[in-house]
Amino acid sequence: MTSLKVLFIWFVLAFSVSSMADEIIQFSSPLNKTRYQSLIEELRCPKCQNQNLADSASGIAVDLREQVHQMIENRKTDQEIIEYMVARYGEFVLYRPQQSSATFLLWYGPFILLGLGLVAFVLVLRANRRKREASL
């Protein structure tokens, strides 16, 4: 029984190696690797619109991942890398849009609605209390 289990584990491991060989990227420091991971998760693939660069297998995503890798290793800051991408692909590539007048509602709309809801809630409470007092 245990030998069967071992055999099964080897079987599974045999497949894992080929999937790891997909893309091996070297980093000069663990920090660079972490920055790379967070950047490609936050940048959107311009070709396949509902995936980030990390998830996409499209040709352009592979190229852009390589670009991010090179820029990190060339000591560019995260801000510089994001500006580089926005200059070429527009704000579209950001999963967290920058704050501007165009994205004001996007960022603050939910809070404005919440505020309106609170105001309505208080008004209804007050009206009810007044009604109750009048009926007493």
Partner 1 sequence: MRKILLFIPLFVFLILGVFFYLQLGKDTQYMPSALIGKNVPNFKLVSLETDQVLTQADLPKRAYLINFWGTWCPACHIEHPFLVELAEQGVILVGVDYKDEKALAEQWLVEKGNPYTMILMDELGHFGVDLGVTGAPETFVVNRAGQIVYRHQGPISAENWPEIRGYLQ
The single-letter DSSP state of residue 74 is T
Among 8, 28, 41, 47, binds partner 1 (CB under 8 A): 47
Which of 3, 15, 59, 75 binds partner 1 (CB under 8 A)? It is 59
User: Is residue 44 within 8 Å of residue 93, measured between CB atoms?
Assistant: yes
SS3 annotation, 80-121: HHHHHHHHHHCHHHECCCCCCCCCHHHHHHHHHHHHHHHHHH
Residue 31 or 102 having the CB closest to partner 1: 102
Distance CA 9, CA 76 (A): 42
Is residue 95 a contact point for partner 1 (CB under 8 A)?
no
CB of 133 to partner 1, least distance (A): 19
Nearer to partner 1, 88 or 129 (CB): 88
| Stretch 63-82 residues interacting with partner 1 (CB under 8 A) | 63-64, 67
